[in-house]
Structure 1
Amino acid sequence: MRIQIITAGTTGSVLPYTGLGHRLLAEGHDVELVVHAKFAASAGCCGLRVRPMETDPFEALMGVHSRLRKAGRSPGALLEFTRAAGRAAVSLADAIIDAADPKADLMLLSSIAAPAGRAVARYHGVDSMGVFLQPETPTAAFSPCLTALRGPSRLNRQRGRAVNAALDLLSAGVYRHLGRKLGFPGLSGGRERRDRERERWPIWHGFSPSVVARPRDWRPGLEVAGYWWPHECPSWEPPARLRDFLASGPPPVFVGFGSMMPGDPERLADLTVRALRLAGVRGVVQSGWAGLDAKDDDVITIGSVPHHWLMPWTAAAVHHAGAGTTAAGLRAGVPAVPVPVFTDQPWWAAHLVRLGAAPAALSYRDLTAERLASALRQAVGESAFAHRSAALARRLAKEDGAGVVARAIAAR
């Protein structure tokens, strides 16, 4: 089968699909991954064909978000961010239109790519399926992932519908743009969601049922597969400097904010070093998109290093609780200190606390060296967090999320 996987966004929104793509490749399918051009080299490792989208609106959007954090939540700042998000969505839609393969048998679409991707697939007469890293279908089982995590309640379905309606309203411009370009009059977010439900469009979710169980009130066709772990290139070697640091003392704490740009990297780096010193632990700080550069006798700053290799060497992980980084920490079986910044990150952070893999979620806005050090002392010093994290990692190791999706495709 000729399969095109289309995704977009940050590193955590791309790497899981390399694992899914390689699994489908191993099953004998002709697979192409469509991603932003900057990910093409890493995503195309070991024979996976990649079609790059030259436009990457999300890095610019992250920059706007970072600048506006300093301006506070004023109406003007919100309006500027909304306009930037609209421009990013239209740019992404055009990139997907250009990259789509009209000869494909199946398009697999991430949640970010799905609004444009479903319309483009329908235009070309190509079958499509959702492969989402976050749940977005309303349920009573939990609150929507763009809000604070709440336990089971009938109100959660109303909250989920309200969040989706707001997203559809914000996306009205991109749907009008798609409708004009593809000749689909009346295209809208609400109509697309209704069509998805009526057609029982299949969506497979790339997270573990041990972390977020499949809600009982979901319709048929909405399934939880398990994590799709990023592809591990066998030729990759860690920097000698990092190997030497890891071997020179006790397991360090990992600190990284991934693709987030939470502002003032110098302040964040200084705060991190002081927190590590107060907690009495060594640290490996990943520079990421924030551009962190932490310096101390017991702290090393690194560039891009696969989490699946690094995290098992660490005693705990301080991170922004993005879906991908959260999954990597759970896989490694190390306690977490989540410091969410925005979107779905507070929701995943709350799951880490609920699972007993983290002592608490810290607000980035109110983060201090003292608060971070206190959480680190708990995460590293109280053995219960390590035991629960290791037990969960053993459960995840028995799952085969990519295989579940591969079998579902074969059964179509």
Structure 2
Amino acid sequence: MKVAVLGLGSRGDTQPSAALALELAGRGHEAVLAAPARYAALAGPGVRFVPLSVDPATVLDGEEGRAWLGSGPLGFVRGLRTVVEPLAARLVAEVDAACAGADLVLAPALGAFGRHLSERHGMPYRILQFQPGEPTGEFPNPLVPLATLGRLGNRASYALVERAGLLVLARLVNRLRAEVLGLGPLRGSPFAADRRERVPVLCGVSPLVVPRPRDWPGYVHLTGYWRLPGTGGTAEMEDFLAAGPPPVFVGFGSMPCPERAAEEVVAGLRLAGLRGVVQGLPVAAGDDLLPVGEVPHDLVFPRMAVVVHHGGAGTTGTALTAGVPSVVCPFFSDQPFWGRRVAALGAGPPPLPIRRLDRRELADRLLAAPRHRERAARLGGKLAVENGVRTAADLIERH
């Protein structure tokens, strides 16, 4: 079976897709991973990599992209057109070419790519999720920054979020369907159509982290995390780790940090009397600080005392699996949801939103983190023996 797997976001979105492609290739399937060119190294043995020229990380690194990410939920939705539209036609054409001839497409829910490609080529598809996106009364849509709206409000929030996105993007989506894919306009919500047709959903999250909602239908599967083992390391990192007690890792992925963030992070670490490995912030190296670029989180996190991060779905899963406490500093989107989950699981203190980040607040949470070490380690031990990618591949083959 030829399976096309789409990795259309940041590394946190692409890496689990690469893990799924690798598992399928290991079972004898012809696996194709279509993702931004910078992630070619994630394609394992037997996986054919198709580079996409549209790279979200490059977009977000630009001034316009960072302003977009920092504009809050409403600004984010409004900015979808101005940031995404100039690149959309090229992306859709490249994804279409990568998936032509596939027997099955595995595509993220965002953009409803699976439905568009299925209409064009006739192949079945499965929906990939990296946060629980199926309606439930147990918690609101993870993009809603509230813990609960009540059972009815929680369930309604999913339709509201989907409708808001469609309202902004419907014209662009229909133009791309016509001009690039040769399809007619959408009739109604593609997400509602997926649910009517019971299109299988594979959610790469552990039920130990988000217990499966009791009102989910049977075609939605909470498989466990899809982990891709990291490789590499540096002598500089090894020397720093050997020079003292386990440090704190601080990294906020591709999020647009306030200018004061680096100063507050360094001061907070020193107030708490802790060493730090700092990723992506302009800090000076010293006896107690090591600035780093991209490093394999699954290899680094278990050697830390605490992990301070933005609460992206992939980073949260890796930190929890490492079995060390987390301090989550959410920016927006689903990150507050993951911050609340970490605290509810006892794997870290209450989240510290990035807008409130200051040295004293950070130091207080770092000093509180040891109280969470035992529960974090217990949860990490259970997560480490899960095999979510095997479960997901079993479901793909079964259907």
Decide: shared fold, TM above 0.5. Answer: yes
Give the equivalent residue in structure 1 for 2:19: 19
Give the equivalent residue in structure 2 for 1:389: 376
Structure 1 residues 280 and 76: CA distance shift in structure 2, 3 A: closer
Instruction: Give the % identical residues.
Output: 36
Give the equivalent residue in structure 2 for 1:402: 389
Q: Which among 141, 145, 169 is matched to residue 171 of structure 1?
A: 169
Q: Is the 8 A contact 1:142 1:153 kept in 2?
A: yes
Q: Residue 153 of structure 1: SS of its match in structure 2?
A: helix
Give the equivalent residue in structure 2 for 1:244: 239
What displacement does 1:398 show? 2.9
After TM superposition, the structure 1 stretch with the greater mean CA deviation from structure 2, 310-319 or 131-140, is: 131-140
Q: Is the 8 A contact 2:73 2:332 kept in 1?
A: no
Structure 1 residues 192 and 216: CA distance shift in structure 2, 3 A: same
Give the equivalent residue in structure 1 for 2:153: 155
Structure 1 residues 337 and 294: CA distance shift in structure 2, 3 A: farther
Q: Do structure 1's residue 325 and structure 2's residue 320 form an aligned pair?
A: no
Q: Do structure 1's residue 127 and structure 2's residue 124 form an aligned pair?
A: yes
Aligned residue type for 1:284: V
Partner Cα distance (2:393, 2:79) in 1: 42
Partner Cα distance (2:20, 2:189) in 1: 29
Structure 1 residues 343 and 87: CA distance shift in structure 2, 3 A: farther
What displacement does 1:261 show? 2.5
Flag structure 1 segments of 5+ consecutive residues without an equivalent.
Answer: none
Flag structure 2 segments of 5+ consecutive residues without an equivalent.
Answer: none
Partner Cα distance (1:75, 1:219) in 2: 30
Partner Cα distance (1:346, 1:404) in 2: 28
What displacement does 1:94 show? 3.3
Partner Cα distance (2:75, 2:160) in 1: 23
Partner Cα distance (2:324, 2:193) in 1: 42
Q: Residue 127 of structure 2: SS of its match in structure 1?
A: strand
What displacement does 1:231 show? 3.5
Aligned residue type for 2:43: G
What displacement does 1:58 show? 5.0
Aligned residue type for 1:230: L
Partner Cα distance (1:109, 1:66) in 2: 26
Partner Cα distance (1:107, 1:357) in 2: 35
- How many residues get paired? 396
Structure 1 residues 293 and 81: CA distance shift in structure 2, 3 A: farther
What displacement does 1:223 show? 1.1
What displacement does 1:139 show? 1.0
Structure 1 residues 57 and 306: CA distance shift in structure 2, 3 A: closer
Q: Which among 106, 111, 115 is matched to residue 112 of structure 2?
A: 115
Q: Do structure 1's residue 359 and structure 2's residue 352 form an aligned pair?
A: no
Q: Residue 356 of structure 2: SS of its match in structure 1?
A: coil
Residues 325-353 of structure 1: CA deviation (Å, up to 9, x unaligned): 00010010010010011211111111111
Q: Is the 8 A contact 1:107 1:129 kept in 2?
A: yes
What displacement does 1:62 show? 5.7
Give the equivalent residue in structure 2 for 1:38: 38
Q: Do structure 1's residue 268 and structure 2's residue 258 form an aligned pair?
A: no
Partner Cα distance (2:243, 2:142) in 1: 40
What displacement does 1:397 show? 2.1
Structure 1 residues 25 and 248: CA distance shift in structure 2, 3 A: same
What displacement does 1:159 show? 1.5
Q: Residue 233 of structure 2: SS of its match in structure 1?
A: coil
Q: Is the 8 A contact 2:310 2:328 kept in 1?
A: yes
Aligned pairs (5 A) from 1:84-95: 84-95=83-94
